A and B are shown apart, each in its own frame.
Chain A
Amino acid sequence: MAGPIINDTPVKTNEKRITIDPITRLEGHGKIEIFLNDSGNVDNAYLQIPELRGFERFCMGRHVMELPVLTNRLCGVCPAAHHLASTKALDAVFSAEPTPTAIKLRELFYMGQYTHSHIAHFYALAAPDFVLGPSAPASQRNVLGVVDAVGVPIGAEVIKHRSYGQKVQEIVGGRATHPVFGLPGGVSKQISEEERVKMEEMAKSCVEFGKFTIKLFHDVVLANKDYLGLILNPDIYYLETYYMGMVDKDNKSNFYDGDIRVVDQTGNQLLKFKPDEYLDVISEHVEPWTYMKMPYLKKIGWKGFVTGPTSGIYRVGPLGRINVSQGYTTPLAQKEYEAFRKTVEGLGVKGPVHHTLAFHWARVIELQYATERMLELASDKSITSDDIRGPYKEPKEGVGIVEAPRGTLIHHYASDKNGICTKINMIVATTNNYAAINTSVQKAAKALIKDWMVSPGLLNKVEMAFRCYDPCNSCGTHSLDDGPALEVTVKRKDGSVLATRRNF
């Protein structure tokens, strides 16, 4: 195959407002608007998120036990994360300590979710930019183009292992996409030895696939000096922010349980907090041009879309987690973490990695960790025990946090004594990243679009600044005519449209 297409030829535009419009759902979609100044350089750029109305009102007055199956309907992309955050919130609401078996089953289920989600993002969404190249024609820069380039056997392995992740969730969680097994203090379903063995076999295969994915990342991305140049370019994909993520008692990354650690731009710990302390740590800023709120660190404050120690913007997700942790508890992921640190330290990076495209590397390391942890848990014969439900008390208020594949996910409920929901607050993973995503988009646009010169490849490189976060703004669950259609609208300074360019 020919090498990836890194650059294309920009052409001069007469237009002052450029819109990148990824139409992902018919009922609404996020879009990027880029405003040019009089000299044709980027004045500003915004990522706008559409509105979804009434979810909190919808939940109030219902029994809190319904929330794990209602909140997971918010999203068809990471329902498992919502289900578990919700279940953990119910643990807190009912003062219920889950049994050891239940904890293992929940985590096993969750490793299935991570395996499926990270495979889907890396191969279907990220790989087109790397395998085909950021400036390859949009008609080829997609998962089908990736299969054409890498071959059908590898493509078949991708869907097989993504599907294994789903099957593990189905066996443990009752359903692959919208699970139903979480209960305060435990889970509703015991698993059989036969099911355990089946999951162990699938997990073994997934570990091998994780190894393969890391090798592929090295061969395709890290071995390509043009990509390394893009990744390391401090003017495009680079933000010095705070980071947030869950860690265990040894500060190793954990997706299911632990304290939430926040580090500063140099890697020093700023905070470590428990789920029920989140309101002391996070505040939310509102902008008039978008429906999504922008969380920031209360202690530091909101200073706008700027970075550095005086700005409360923080990042979550794979890059946040790798930056707040001191590695992983499983051997292969730890080995790759050490390789990651050695590489970045060789490039002069001492503390956290601020290079936004390193999200992709962190994500494949996490895939390896999830598969290894899945194997550890599926190999544990005690998970077939019938001790799956602990005692619970009268309901009150409680908070549950997990690390969703896209970042820290917080569910907070209050209940009256009859179990009726009187308050609900959620901060979802992508919301945590929203201010940072917006800042990333602004920075990339300013660096890439100059002197009126734009091209599809340049606009895709702007998109890459937010795609690596794996943003999921959709609270719905499907689409019929969705897709990566891009609409680029160029507007004058007064906002009037001069011209529109579409690839659909």
Chain B
Amino acid sequence: MKVLVLGVGNPILSDDGVGIHVARELMKRKLPGIDVEELAASGLELLDVVRGYDKVIIIDAIQTTKGKPGELYILEEKDFEKSIHGSSPHGINIATALALGRKLVPKEMPKEVVFFAIEAEDLVNVAERLTPKVAKALPGIVEQIEKELM
């Protein structure tokens, strides 16, 4: 089974880049049989990256109303069903991109897509560093994701 771990985010936008930080940690661990990539884009770009894999794990930042910075949520595609399929001013969302791929190139699309979403604190200030709470949670998150992968 071909597995891709994809860290998504903007590495210079504080906690927005947490997915990239996690991916970089996982790359260092050289997990057997697992490709680890980073992606600083969304929507249709995602299709170029996930094609040909059986399973894709997307790691990204999330901001919920009551979450604590650094908390990890494991989500599936169905959790994004409420996200509207339609046009946004400058892109399409991940759920729409995956649905589009399944329509157009079904054989090349991963059967399973799992989201590891990490609660972010700051998504507004330009910075290469994570905020302290998210940075502190990072090693535990990396370990937990590694366990899920093995």
Contacts and interface: CB of A to CB of B under 8 A. Distances in A.
B42 A482 contact: yes
Interface stretch (B21-29, B86-94, B133-141, B142-150): B86-94
B11 to A, nearest CB: 7
Contact of B96 (A144, A152, A159, A486): A144
A483 B84 contact: yes
A478 B46 CA distance: 10
Interface in A108-135: 120, 124-125, 128-129
Contacts of A52: 13, 124, 126
Interface in A153-188: 155-156, 159, 162-163, 166, 176-178
B82 interface: yes
Given A58-B12, A484-B84, A472 B90 contact: yes
B99 interface: yes
B12 to A, nearest CB: 5
B42 A483 contact: no
Given A54-B127, A480-B62, A485 B84 contact: yes
Interface residues of A, number: 63
Contacts of A120: 43-44, 91
A477 B80 contact: no
B96 A483 contact: yes
B103 A142 contact: no
A467 interface: yes
B10 A478 contact: yes
B105 A476 contact: no
A183 to B, nearest CB: 20
Interface residues of B, number: 51
A59 B82 CA distance: 38
B114 interface: no
B130 to A, nearest CB: 14
B61 interface: yes
Interface in B1-60: 8-13, 16, 39-45, 47-48, 58, 60
A40 interface: no
A155 B96 CA distance: 14
A391 interface: no
Contacts of A474: 90
Contact of A147 (B39, B80, B93, B104): B104
B48 A478 contact: no
A77 B88 contact: no
A177 B42 CA distance: 10
Contact of B93 (A472, A473, A483): A483
Given A141-B87, A476-B123, A147 B103 contact: yes
B9 A142 contact: no
A29 to B, nearest CB: 9
B60 A480 contact: yes
A142 B44 CA distance: 13
Given A476-B16, A478-B9, A177 B40 contact: yes
Nearest to B90: A472
A124 B89 contact: no
B10 A477 contact: yes
Given A52-B124, A477-B9, A77 B40 contact: no
A472 B85 contact: no
A73 B10 contact: yes
Contacts of A77: 90-91
Contacts of B85: 139, 142, 144, 483
Nearest to B58: A480
B132 to A, nearest CB: 17
A58 B127 contact: yes
- What is the predominant secondary structure among interface residues of chain A facing chain B? loop
Nearest to B117: A480
Interface centre among A25, A129, A481, A504 (most CB of B within 10 A): A481
Given A73-B40, A144-B103, A478-B40, A54 B62 contact: no
Contacts of B100: 143-144, 147, 155, 159
A26 B124 contact: no
B89 A481 contact: no
B134 to A, nearest CB: 14
A53 interface: yes
A178 B92 contact: no
Interface string B59-74: 0111100000000000
Given A144-B103, A166-B45, A124 B39 contact: no
Contacts of B115: 480
A176 B39 CA distance: 10
A466 interface: yes
Nearest to B99: A144
Given A73-B40, A163-B48, A477-B40, A152 B103 contact: yes
A58 B125 CA distance: 10
B87 A124 contact: yes
Contacts of A485: 83-84
Given A27-B123, A54-B126, A484 B86 contact: yes
B109 to A, nearest CB: 12
A466 B126 contact: no
Contact of A156 (B84, B104, B117): B104
Interface of A: 22-28, 30, 51-55, 57-58, 70, 73, 76-77, 79, 120, 124-125, 128-129, 138-139, 141-144, 147, 152, 155-156, 159, 162-163, 166, 176-178, 466-467, 470-486, 503-504
- 4 closest A-B pairs by beta carbon, nearest first, are A27-B123, A484-B86, A142-B86, A483-B93
Given A478-B60, A483-B85, 5 more contacts: A24-B88, A26-B123, A58-B126, A124-B87, A166-B45
27 contacts: A22-B89, A26-B61, A26-B63, A51-B124, A52-B126, A54-B127, A55-B126, A73-B40, A77-B91, A79-B40, A120-B91, A124-B87, A125-B90, A142-B86, A155-B103, A156-B105, A159-B44, A176-B48, A467-B89, A473-B89, A475-B13, A476-B16, A477-B16, A480-B60, A480-B115, A483-B85, A484-B86
